[in-house]
Chains A and B, each alone.
Chain A
């Protein structure tokens, strides 16, 4: 109510200014109008420019921290291009017969590079419907990056080292977070309404943590608890053969 009034008042003031100082004003008119339109459209959608820091602590039902938990925040408002967070270069490395990171989250359309830091072969593949590919990665070799266009989960494996498994979570939303070894995740979110969905490689996400609606209007810290307990994966041990 007050904001709409302020915009109307501002429009009136700019008309007056336009009449008074025509020459100078003309130089800035376009920019100012653009800003005004953006402000108006933002207000019209009930959305402002502010962002909040949304901090998650994710625990198992027994209270122990959960790593590699992915939270996708689907905005219930239209996201402007300038609100899109910057996508860091996405890398799925292979170090000591492990995919690093174990779980990589990228926005749909992102290119992912697959370097091989190991001094041995990896034969990386995916048969997931989201993205199918096969990369023969010789020692210390980086393949041409692959673009992940469609949202979904991509399970990746190594045909030589069966225990090597990794996941690429391709999202439509630009807002997502992943928990670290302490179960901590941090996302920067524009103020507004979101549906939050959970995914984890070892459980069915919706069962472990049903989707929920949240409203973000200030910096927030939450502790979320799963309905289940996820036991952390073991690392690779070559003494145990090839599966």
Chain B
């Protein structure tokens, strides 16, 4: 019944005023050959999204921008997946007010659920990456646990308009509904995949005894990333600076301002999570771009029941010459456990290397092959295996149709 309502909503978005709507469709089938361990989505220790080898519906996206009336746009992204808990729902839904302005400094307001524009790699519609099948460790986490339901106000100046090589944008936001952010970094660690959490979604993870046991924290082995628990507003602010179209830097500070002492009756906690994010992008020439992100933050749950620092970074390079794209990325990540709760060790650290090759077959179809290795240590794995080490390989062959 709910699916029907959502579909009707989207169809009305996309088609009822077709001439006023820009709609993109994407369908991606992926044949995956993965590590022979159980996925976190199936309460396993593996950090990969797919639950088994074989063919998966890895992405099905309808993204639409509907011009409502003067200067107002309604944007919605509806996703479907063959894995995870919530398999068909919106990942983003927001209103955008963008009035033309005689001033070279122009305002914009967004209201609803959307991503802060932190990512250097998720630049395609529906927050997809145009170059990789899996996102970096940072953006896999952003896709899982970060979506703000709130209002963002920004001011921007395009340098080209004022005969300057420099463009800039400053923005700030207040939001609710992101109180559990930090759970996955602490109890599962960073992962690399392209499964975005959807509205009403639930993300599972390995049932660590100290977390789920009644004489431990008694928490479930899943989190609802967008749940509001403490009724407090969070905030983020950021600044973008670009030199022509050649180089860009983005800085964001995010603080969900959660009251770490609030817990709901189903033992879902509010996690006070803060981070700094730095995004860099340099286009050497139209065929060759390098980009990088750095993330440094911390998360607190209860009175130091969980107190972790986290950091991650990646460097990626993309070389494209029509119709081919070759992309490679190196990721590293670390979660440091600062609390003294011995039954819940959260420390983890790892590195990943990804190489991806794609070819556009036609305007609407493309194929991509991607290989990835992700290896590291995670302290809580010792409850399930002989040591804390993991190495995970993933090969994917994807066929993508866009319309």
Q: Using CB atoms, name the residue of chain A closest to B106.
A: A162
Lowest 7 CB-CB distances: which A-B pairs, in order? A234-B245, A127-B102, A162-B158, A159-B100, A125-B100, A243-B156, A239-B123
Q: Is the CB of B281 within 8 A of A233?
A: no
Q: Using CB atoms, name the residue of chain A closest to B67.
A: A121
Interface of chain B: mostly helix, strand, loop or mixed:
mixed
Q: Is the CB of A138 within 8 A of B98?
A: no
Enumerate chain A residues within 8 angstroms of B99, measured Cβ to Cβ.
Answer: 159
Contact with A along B129-144 (1 / 0, CB 8 A): 0100000000000000
Docked CA distance A186–B236 (Å): 55
Docked CA distance A241–B123 (Å): 8
Q: Is the CB of B156 within 8 A of A240?
A: no
Q: Is the CB of B245 within 8 A of A163?
A: yes
| A237-B245, A239-B281 known; A165 vs B161 contact (CB < 8 Å) | yes
Within 8 Å of chain A (Cβ to Cβ): is B255?
no
Enumerate chain A residues within 8 angstroms of B106, measured Cβ to Cβ.
Answer: 162
Within 8 Å of chain A (Cβ to Cβ): is B169?
yes
Q: Using CB atoms, name the residue of chain A closest to B19.
A: A138
Q: Using CB atoms, name the residue of chain B closest to A120.
A: B22
| B281 touches which of A120, A238, A240 (Cβ 8 Å) | A240
| A155-B161, A238-B123, A243-B157 known; A121 vs B169 contact (CB < 8 Å) | no
Within 8 Å of chain B (Cβ to Cβ): is A160?
yes
Enumerate chain B residues within 8 angstroms of A235, measured Cβ to Cβ.
Answer: 245, 286
A–B Cβ pairs within 8 angstroms, 6 of them: A120-B22, A134-B100, A157-B100, A202-B163, A240-B245, A243-B156
Instruction: Count chain A residues whose beta carbon lies closer than 8 angstroms to a beta carbon of B.
Output: 30
Q: Using CB atoms, name the residue of chain B closest to A128.
A: B102
Q: Is the CB of A165 within 8 A of B160?
A: yes
Docked CA distance A236–B20 (Å): 23
Docked CA distance A241–B108 (Å): 13
Q: Using CB atoms, name the residue of chain A closest to B163.
A: A202
Q: Is the CB of B20 within 8 A of A160?
A: no
| A138-B19, A239-B281 known; A233 vs B160 contact (CB < 8 Å) | yes
Q: Is the CB of B240 within 8 A of A241?
A: yes
Q: Is the CB of B242 within 8 A of A240?
A: yes
List residues of chain A with CB under 8 Å of any chain B CB.
120-121, 123, 125, 127, 134, 136, 138-139, 155, 157, 159-160, 162-163, 165, 201-203, 233-243
Docked CA distance A138–B22 (Å): 9
Q: Using CB atoms, name the residue of chain B closest to A201.
A: B163
Within 8 Å of chain A (Cβ to Cβ): is B117?
yes
CB distance from A136 to the nearest CB of B (A): 8
Within 8 Å of chain A (Cβ to Cβ): is B289?
yes
Docked CA distance A203–B163 (Å): 7
CB distance from A201 to the nearest CB of B (A): 8
Docked CA distance A233–B161 (Å): 12
CB distance from A56 to the nearest CB of B (A): 23
Enumerate chain B residues within 8 angstroms of A243, measured Cβ to Cβ.
Answer: 156-158, 167-169, 240, 242
Within 8 Å of chain A (Cβ to Cβ): is B246?
yes
Q: Is the CB of B157 within 8 A of A159?
A: no
| A121-B22, A159-B98, A159-B100 known; A241 vs B248 contact (CB < 8 Å) | yes
Within 8 Å of chain A (Cβ to Cβ): is B267?
no
Q: Is the CB of A241 within 8 A of B117?
A: yes
Enumerate chain A residues within 8 angstroms of B305, measured Cβ to Cβ.
Answer: none
Within 8 Å of chain A (Cβ to Cβ): is B283?
yes
Q: Using CB atoms, name the residue of chain B closest to A233.
A: B160
Docked CA distance A160–B100 (Å): 9
Enumerate chain B residues within 8 angstroms of A155, measured Cβ to Cβ.
Answer: 161
Q: Is the CB of A139 within 8 A of B157?
A: no
Docked CA distance A160–B106 (Å): 11
Enumerate chain A residues within 8 angstroms of B130, measured Cβ to Cβ.
Answer: 239
Within 8 Å of chain A (Cβ to Cβ): is B244?
yes
Q: Using CB atoms, name the residue of chain A closest to B318.
A: A239
Enumerate chain B residues within 8 angstroms of A234, measured Cβ to Cβ.
Answer: 244-246
CB distance from B253 to the nearest CB of A (A): 18
Enumerate chain B residues within 8 angstroms of A134, measured Cβ to Cβ.
Answer: 100
Q: Is the CB of B19 within 8 A of A139?
A: yes
Q: Using CB atoms, name the residue of chain B closest to A125.
A: B100
Docked CA distance A128–B105 (Å): 15
CB distance from A60 to the nearest CB of B (A): 16
Enumerate chain A residues within 8 angstroms of B286, measured Cβ to Cβ.
Answer: 235, 237
Q: Using CB atoms, name the residue of chain B closest to A162.
A: B158
Q: Is the CB of A139 within 8 A of B163?
A: no
Q: Which of B239-255 contact A (CB under 8 A)?
A: 240, 242, 244-246, 248
Q: Is the CB of B163 within 8 A of A240?
A: no
Docked CA distance A123–B248 (Å): 25
Contact with A along B207-248 (1 / 0, CB 8 A): 000000000000000000000000000000000101011101
